[in-house]
């Protein structure tokens, strides 16, 4: 039996939407950051309205990094400040499950489905979605709710579209923010 199969509860994961991704003198702001934050805020608000738990994943990039623990850049962006009941999980790698409390906390809350948004598309979003699926979770990726920067080879938008296509082939279901109704999503999970 796959580990997440019998769980019915859904949870939202907001990955690495920290101040340094949007405001830094070391790098340019993440592509379409205003839209990314607006969609994350909508997702969190919908989750709260549907009584769906919200887990914020916060990255520590190490000493000198824009996301160094304890610095201003490390803080979760104020546009999506966690509510008192939301959980914050600290991580040091692209995998939100690796050497963190995430898996244990999801199991304790009887979570079997994850709705994922955040950054960075080709690293933390990709890795966490794949790992979640391999652990048996049903994963929904908000297709217009994750972001990145241009690379030397591809624009940020090309990276996002490419990862949406690749992840949807085996690891996630894609939904846009407009398509995502957490009340309906939760009712579907409970009915299964």
Task: Sketch the domain layout of the chain as residue ranges.
Answer: 9-186
pTM here? 0.92
φ, ψ (nearest 5 deg) of residue 100: -130, 180
pLDDT at 8: 73
Q: Thinking of the domain 9-186, which architecture would CATH place it in?
A: 3-Layer(aba) Sandwich (3.40)
pLDDT at 185: 56
The pLDDT profile of the chain, 192 residues, written as one tens digit per residue, is 334 444 479 999 999 999 999 988 888 999 999 999 999 999 999 999 999 999 999 999 999 999 999 999 999 999 999 999 999 999 999 999 999 999 999 999 999 999 999 999 999 999 999 999 999 999 999 999 999 999 999 999 999 999 999 999 999 999 999 999 887 656 554 455
φ, ψ (nearest 5 deg) of residue 6: -85, -5
pLDDT at 186: 60
Question: HEC string of the chain?
Answer: CCCCCCCCEEEEEEECCEHHHHCCCCCCCCCCHHHHHHHHHHHHHHHHHCCCCEEEEEECCCCCCCCCCCCHHHCECHHHCCCCCCEEEEECCCCCCCCCCHHHHHHHCCEEEEEEEEECHHHHHHHHHHHHHHCCCEEEEEEEEEECCCCCCCCHHHHHHHHHHHHHHHCCEEECCCCCCHHHHHHHHHHC
């Amino acid at each position: 039996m796959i580990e997440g199969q019998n769980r019915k509860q859904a949870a939202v994961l907001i990955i690495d939407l920290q101040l340094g991704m949007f405001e830094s003198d070391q790098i340019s702001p993440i592509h379409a950051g205003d839209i990314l934050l607006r969609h994350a805020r909508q997702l969190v608000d919908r989750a709260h309205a549907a009584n769906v738990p919200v887990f914020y994943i916060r990255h520590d990039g190490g000493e000198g990094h824009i996301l160094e623990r304890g610095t201003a850049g490390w803080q979760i962006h104020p546009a999506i400040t966690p509510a008192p009941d939301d959980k914050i999980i600290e991580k040091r790698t692209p995998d939100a499950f690796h050497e963190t409390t995430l898996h244990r906390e999801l199991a304790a809350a009887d979570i079997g489905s994850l709705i994922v948004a955040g950054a960075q598309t080709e690293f933390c979003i990709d890795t966490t979605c794949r790992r979640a699926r391999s652990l048996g979770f049903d994963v929904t990726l908000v297709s217009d709710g994750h972001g990145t920067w241009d690379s030397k080879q591809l624009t940020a938008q090309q990276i996002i579209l490419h990862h949406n296509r690749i992840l949807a082939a085996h690891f996630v279901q894609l939904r846009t923010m407009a398509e995502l109704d957490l009340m309906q999503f939760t009712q579907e999970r409970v009915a299964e």
